[in-house]
Amino acid sequence: MAAQQGKVLRVGVIQGGKIVEERVLPARQPVTIGTSPRNTIVVAHSELPPSFQVFSCQGERHTLHFREGMDGRIQGAQGTATDFAALVSQGHAKAQGGGYAVPLREDERGKIVLGEVTLLWQFVAPPPESPRPVLPKEAKGNHFKSMDRLFVSVLVGSFLLHSGVYVALANTDLPKEVTLEEIPERFAKVLIPEKQPAPKKVEEKKAEVVTEAKPEAKKDAAEKKPVEPPEQVAAKKAARAAAVAKAVQSKGILKVLGALGPSSGGGAVADVFGAGGGMGDVATALSGAGGVALATDPGAGGGRKGGGQGGKASIGDLATTGGGSVGYGTKADVRVSGSVQADEAEVDSAEIDQQKLASFVRARMGLIKACYENALKRNPGLKGKVAIRFTILETGGLSDITAAVNTLASPDVASCIVGTMRTWRTQFKPSGPVTVEYPFVFSPVN
């Protein structure tokens, strides 16, 4: 039953009544057939499975494999043929791996029918190995003869030149380092320039001269100014007082005060300021005021107003009712307090953890509460709901922040929350933008 050493397997493939392939396989090599390109025999356009093992090799022996129901036969040297069913019934085929295995001899041949494909096999002597082709010496040529002479000459010359330069530089001594004392004087002047003397401070001296000259200039100006006589000074004061009185009579309520009274030929200024004559200026006139009197203007349609007698009254004669004392309190800010509750957020992606997002918002709830309490100072009864819609980007930042719902009736609170959330950056890194709607409920505490 053992196959002699040196025999190889010859296989022919028949498909559609035609031989499509014939091969001599190397010794001791398993044979597979199927539609997969990794098989030993590939039959692409067929109903075969991707791979099926037909022959295996155990040592020096070949074994044929087939499955139950598969058609085929084995023919011996005497010409007797036995089909697969008879091999199974006689016990020559042994069950193995969901099929049957039959050991083969070198003088046996046979066929296997695999659907539309028929496989013929037999053992033959291996073909002699063809000698390896060797080129003759004339075809091989000479490496030196095939090279370009000009190129080789330039290459050799360049190598010699660079080698000579390298040897010359290697044998050249490096120049000795020169110290600062050994540098020639003409080079030292160029490298180290002489230090120039510092300029003198001329501006300070000029300032001192000007400062000392100022008192002398003032003294000369005072000596040159002429001294006016007392009569000229008194005349100037009288002219200035007359101009002031004329200006008073032409200005609104001052015109009323400057009107003439029926009791005297002077104006009401004389009634108000007293009977002193020859006032020098306004300050002097006001120093004589003793009370308040209502004057009339003859040119304005005459008569005293209100039927009064034109008497004088001082500030002390004016009395008020309910003369109680008024107390002043200290300034204090009204302290308000609000409550902020966050409802469950609406997230359109499973990549964002609801609990982690809620913890992130709770850690920053003080900023949102501050926006509400600032508005609560102006409106203590302010309460309602604000739902903020935003998008979490791949970087963790927030964008498209808007107030989707606002029943608080205060756009300032919603704007403050939106501005605060623009600076937030979450720890989430989603694969794409995620839209979130987060509701906040606001109510006053006191």
Q: Is the pLDDT of residue 65 over 80?
A: yes
Higher pLDDT, 408 or 226: 408
Average pLDDT over residues 81-90: 88
Residue 201's pLDDT band (cuts 50, 70, 90): low
Under a CB-based contact definition with an 8 Å cutoff, are residues 237 and 279 in contact? no
Residue 169's pLDDT band (cuts 50, 70, 90): very high
Select the CATH number that applies to the domain covering 8-124 from these four: 2.60.200.20, 1.20.210.10, 3.40.640.10, 3.90.1150.10: 2.60.200.20
Res 433: pLDDT? 92
Average pLDDT over residues 115-133: 85
- Whether 338-444 and 8-124 are alike in CATH topology: the answer is no
Higher pLDDT, 26 or 283: 26
Q: Is the pLDDT of residue 312 over 60?
A: no
Res 342: pLDDT? 85
Residue 213's pLDDT band (cuts 50, 70, 90): very low
pLDDT mean across residues, the chain: 76
Res 176: pLDDT? 77
Residue 32: in which H helix or E strand, if any?
strand 31-34
- Which residues, including other chains, have CB under 8 Å from residue 384's CB and lie 6 or more apart? 406, 407, 408, 409, 410, 441, 442
Q: Amino acid identity, residue 77?
A: A
Res 244: pLDDT? 72
- Which residues, including other chains, have CB under 8 Å from residue 208's CB and lie 6 or more apart? none
The 3-state DSSP composition of the chain as helix, strand, coil percent (nearest 5) reads 35, 25, 45
Res 116: pLDDT? 87
The least confident of 38-42, 192-196, 316-320 is 316-320
The rounded radius of gyration (Å) of the Cα atoms in the chain is: 63
Residue 334's pLDDT band (cuts 50, 70, 90): low
Residue 398's pLDDT band (cuts 50, 70, 90): very high
Res 343: pLDDT? 84
Residue 64: in which H helix or E strand, if any?
strand 61-66
- What whole-number distance in Å separates Cα of residue 293 and Cα of residue 305? 11
- What whole-number distance in Å separates Cα of residue 354 and Cα of residue 345? 7
Q: What is the 3-state secondary structure (H, E, C) of 209-243?
A: HHHHHHHHHHHHHHHHCCCCCHHHHHHHHHHHHHH
* Residue 235 token pair: 């005349």
Res 28: pLDDT? 79
Res 202: pLDDT? 54
Q: Is the pLDDT of residue 97 over 60?
A: yes
Q: Is the pLDDT of residue 299 over 60?
A: no
- What whole-number distance in Å separates Cα of residue 268 and Cα of residue 259? 5
* Residue 396 token pair: 């963790």
Q: DSSP for 331-378?
A: P-PPP--EEEEE---EES-TTS-HHHHHHHHHTTHHHHHHHHHHHHHH
Under a CB-based contact definition with an 8 Å cutoff, are residues 42 and 51 in contact? no
Task: Give the end-to-end CA distance of the chain in Å, rounded to a whole number.
Answer: 107
The CATH code belonging to domain 338-444 is: 3.30.1150
Average pLDDT over residues 144-156: 87
Higher pLDDT, 276 or 348: 348
Q: What percent of the chain has pLDDT over 70?
A: 68
- What whole-number distance in Å separates Cα of residue 372 and Cα of residue 380? 11
- 137-141, 270-274, 291-295, 307-311: which has the highest mean pLDDT? 137-141
Under a CB-based contact definition with an 8 Å cutoff, are residues 275 and 315 in contact? no
Under a CB-based contact definition with an 8 Å cutoff, are residues 64 and 101 in contact? yes
- What whole-number distance in Å separates Cα of residue 22 and Cα of residue 13? 6
Average pLDDT over residues 201-208: 50
Residue 296's pLDDT band (cuts 50, 70, 90): very low
Q: What global pTM score does this model have?
A: 0.32
Average pLDDT over residues 120-129: 86
> Which one-letter DSSP state was computed for residue 89?
H
For the segment 216-261, what is each residue's pLDDT rounded down to a tens digit? 555 555 555 566 777 787 788 888 877 776 765 555 554 544 444 4
- Which residues, including other chains, have CB under 8 Å from residue 270's CB and lie 6 or more apart? 261, 264
Average pLDDT over residues 16-21: 87
Res 285: pLDDT? 46
The least confident of 37-51, 178-192, 353-367 is 178-192
Res 424: pLDDT? 92
For the chain, which residues make up each domain, given as ranges?
Answer: 8-124, 233-300, 338-444
Helix, strand or coil, per DSSP, at residue 120: strand
Under a CB-based contact definition with an 8 Å cutoff, are residues 352 and 389 in contact? no
Res 29: pLDDT? 84
Res 216: pLDDT? 55
